[in-house]
Amino acid sequence: MTRDPNQPPLNQSPLNQPPLNQPLGGNQMPRFAGPATMMRLPAHDSAAGLDVGFIGVPLDTGTSNRPGARFGPRAIRAESCLLRPYNMATRAAPFDSLMVGDLGDVAINTFNLQASIGIIEAAYDEILSHNCKPLTLGGDHTIALPILRALKRKYGPVGMVHVDAHADINDHMFGEKIAHGTPFRRAVEEGLLDGKRVAQIGLRGTGYAADDFDWPREQGFRVVQAEECWYRSLAPLMEEIRGQLGAGPVYLSFDIDGLDPAFAPGTGTPEIGGLSITQALEIIRGCRGLDLVGGDLVEVAPAYDTSGNTALVGANLLYEMLCVLPGVAYR
């Protein structure tokens, strides 16, 4: 392929810069061995010096149906050993231009959801203080709220691309204001989101009232129900959404149950009639050009998919998120 002569050679840093981290290759170490990090990248105790950090939040205390997303980060990392550094489809070469590492897991409080929220906020405040963009391995969707709180302190209210079967705008769940079905109502109330710069894609299933999907519309969100996505490419949709979100910081939050359970059964609240993996790739790749400041992949519950396919999909989608971050080289 033709290369820009002004770019450094593949897998090398610009002159006078430290070498960039590289995933451990399958010809260096068998893929079933080596470090148990995301893509077998070097582990880091601090985000200092990193452009991007993969970080796990093994929390499922906010889950309303099937638990098990606490095991998501470990399963996603295990399946990520199959990934290679260069994106053959998009020509993205993220490890040629960004310093990327695995920051391990946030040490949440297994027995106290409210305490865990504070722990997560503090962890992301620290990551963001180093100008490191977090890519998060969930964990249930409750974790989006403390992450968005930290992002607001760094950037102000952000736009968001949210892929999910559910809008997650409940006012409460069993009287609790914070759970995996409430984060984006709290985010609106707290001014964490710029409502006119939010798109929710893949919403579907049964509900309790029309308000389940109408409330976010009233906040200015663009709501794209799954039925609008059936039998079509989502590339034109993403062109429209890029125009809607425009300039300014954007967060990408991807609940694995946005996909149809035929593709990703390992999740706590599956809904039929969902997106395909191809459409998921179109959505994430369609975010290229946005000022992405982070992303998450949540609700992988490995116990409900013993094949490992759901975690494998999650690992690939996180890699695709890495490939559309600002500053990625294309070869």
Query: Could you tell me the pLDDT band of residue 16, with boundaries at 50, 70 and 90?
Result: low
Query: What sign has the CA pseudo-torsion 76, 201, 281, 228?
Result: positive
Report percent pLDDT > 90 for the chain: 95
Report whether pLDDT(5) > 90. Answer: no
Among candidate residues 197, 286, 283, 289, the one with its CA nearest the CA of residue 244: 197
The per-residue pLDDT for 6 is 44
Q: Which helix (H) or strand (E) holds 101?
A: strand 100-105
Find the DSSP H helices in 170-259. 183-189, 211-218, 235-245
Give the pLDDT score at 55: 98
Residue with more model confidence, 6 or 26? 26
Asked if residue 241 lies in contact with residue 286, where contact means CB atoms within 8 angstroms, the answer is yes
Decide if pLDDT at 7 tops 90.
Answer: no
Given a contact cutoff of 8 angstroms between Cβ atoms, the answer to whether 313 and 277 are in contact is yes
pLDDT tens figures, 196-209: 999 999 999 999 99
Helix, strand and coil in the chain, % to nearest 5 = 35, 20, 45
pLDDT, tens digit, 9 for 90 and up, residues 97-137: 999 999 999 999 999 999 999 999 999 999 999 999 999 99
Residue 203, classed as helix, strand or coil, is strand
pLDDT surpassing 70 at residue 307: yes
Work out the pLDDT band at 8, boundaries 50, 70, 90: very low
Is the pLDDT confidence value at 48 over 60?
yes
pLDDT on residue 3 = 39
CA-to-CA distance for 97 and 268, rounded, in angstroms?
36
User: Could you tell me the pLDDT band of residue 18, with boundaries at 50, 70 and 90?
Assistant: confident
* DSSP letter assigned to residue 256: G
Q: How far apart are CA 174 and CA 119, in angstroms?
A: 23
Q: Which two tokens stand for residue 54?
A: 């993969």
The yes-or-no verdict on residue 171 having pLDDT over 70 is yes
**Rounded distance between C-alpha atoms, residue 319 and residue 83, angstroms:** 8
Indicate whether 11 pLDDT > 60. no
Q: What is the pLDDT of residue 37?
A: 98
Mean pLDDT, rounded, of the chain: 94
Which comes out higher in pLDDT, residue 282 or 7? 282
pLDDT at 1: 34
Mean of the pLDDT values across residues 152-179? 96
Q: Are 117 and 145 in contact (CB under 8 A)?
A: yes
